Amino acid sequence: MSGTGYRRAAWLPGPHLGTVYASVARPWPRPPFRRERWDLPDGDFLDVDRLAGARAGAPVLVISHGLEGNSRASYVRGLAAAASRRGLAVVAWNFRGCSGEPNRLLRQYHSGETGDLAWVVDRLASEDPARPILVAGFSLGGNQLVKWMGERGDDLPAPVRAAVAVSVPFDLEACAVALDGPGFWPFVYRERFLRRLRRKALRKAAEHPGSLDPDAVRRSRTFSEYDGLVTARLHGFASAQDYWRRCSAARFVGSVRRDLLLLSADDDPLVPARSIPVAEARGNPAVRLEVTPGGGHVAFVSGTPLAPAFWAEERAVAFLVSRLGTAGG
């Protein structure tokens, strides 16, 4: 199940340079998005970006971003641009509170939140039941995607033909331990995420007095602390460990019944290689797992400094398009 066709960029050695470059320094594709606000049944909303100019009835690709990302993230835009070149329509949706405007309710999003993804897919299916739907998710969004597919099994909406999940944190506890560990790079990744998460949590605490302990939130410096103080408390888990156990995607790989491609790197600095569910993927004919030698986290950079390429985005679109001729289920 090794990844084929990927050759890591020699000018970005090691897992960290590629990961950082892909996140903050890569050329940013600018596909023409049109923003829409979709009101949710519980009174909240989702901000959704549709790719402008897609032909009527074209298969639609639903893209989910990663932790503290959004629909304008470089990897989302990169995948949208690659999909557009293959004639696909695109809907890139923002998790609650990630579009640049705080969501209305106390609840936020988390790695195991599949209700909003299901609602987005159901809405698109109701718009045009004959239109094929493809789904892709990156990192946290990939964890949600795999969990949703496993939860639903044979009960996925009929238009859903296939899905791709990139750099999935299959074991949330193992990933939290890696990020909470000692050293320069874990600190960099951890603080980049937690700084934003603390800011959002403190806003919720101010808007909903008594919901959270603001002082404890300010002091939180690890994912273990934050997920115990905020994620678990706001979303009905007994503890951070309970949240991690119940929401880790690895538990759901064996129950997937629609074509699913999993793309991982063996040197992902956020996802320990030992947490990749190799046996579960091998035991499920609906799942194809490709683990590349190198590639970092949501990176997979190849090419040259003047002409970088992003293998996972092209591989994802090729896989998804190849499944359009097959019936879902």
Which tens digits make up the pLDDT trace of 255-276? Answer: 999 999 999 999 999 999 999 9
Active-site residue, 139 included: yes
3-class secondary-structure state, position 60:
strand
Percent of the chain with pLDDT over 90: 95
Residue 327 confidence (pLDDT): 41
C-beta separation of 229 from 218 below 8 A:
no
- Domain regions of the chain by residue span: 14-171+250-322, 172-247
Residue 5 confidence (pLDDT): 85
* Cα–Cα dist 177/167, whole Å: 17
Paired residues of 265 in beta bridges: 292
- Catalytic annotation, pick one of 264, 268, 275, 302: 268
- Catalytic annotation, pick one of 74, 139, 224, 264: 139
C-beta separation of 13 from 37 below 8 A:
no
Active-site residue, 220 included: no
**What is the pTM for the complete model shown?**
0.96
Residues 76-95: pLDDT tens digits?
A: 999 999 999 999 999 999 99
User: How many other CB atoms sit within 10 Å of the CB of residue 42?
Assistant: 12
Select the CATH number that applies to the domain covering 14-171+250-322 from these four: 3.30.9.90, 3.40.50.1820, 3.30.470.30, 3.40.190.10.
Answer: 3.40.50.1820
The pLDDT confidence band at residue 1, using thresholds 50, 70 and 90, is low
- Catalytic annotation, pick one of 16, 65, 110, 297: 297
Query: Mean pLDDT over all residues of the chain?
Result: 96
User: How many other CB atoms sit within 10 Å of the CB of residue 246?
Assistant: 14
